[in-house]
């Protein structure tokens, strides 16, 4: 979880249902994607949760491949993560392929 919290934060203005604005802070989508791939691959993870844990990063990866060029999928983008964890995730997914 430290990985996710150490990643860059994106802040955007959002609007509530009643029309009030607020600032939404979210982790870099690449960090979220890598963390969820790592979590899904963990042998300690509850097997019932692994399916969802794998669908979430796959959806984010697909969006990143199709849309925002400001979020490249390269090694430099994942420097806040331990190299071994990132290498394991990259070896078992489509990331960087």
Radius of gyration of the chain (CA): 15
pLDDT, averaged across the chain:
82
Binned at pLDDT 50, 70 and 90, residue 66 comes out as confident
Binned at pLDDT 50, 70 and 90, residue 93 comes out as low
Pairing of strands 9-15, 21-27: antiparallel
Please report the pLDDT score of residue 86 as a whole number.
74
Please report the pLDDT score of residue 96 as a whole number.
54
Is the model's pTM score more than 0.95?
no
């Amino acid at each position: 979880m430290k990985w996710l919290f150490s990643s860059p934060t994106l802040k955007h203005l959002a609007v509530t249902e009643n029309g009030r604005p607020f600032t939404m802070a979210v982790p870099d989508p690449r960090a979220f994607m890598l963390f969820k791939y790592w979590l899904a691959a963990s042998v300690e993870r509850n097997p019932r949760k692994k399916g969802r844990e794998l669908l979430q990063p796959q959806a984010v990866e697909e969006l990143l491949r199709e849309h925002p060029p400001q979020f490249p999928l390269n090694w430099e983008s994942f420097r806040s993560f331990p190299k071994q964890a990132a290498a394991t995730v990259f070896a078992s997914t489509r990331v960087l392929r």
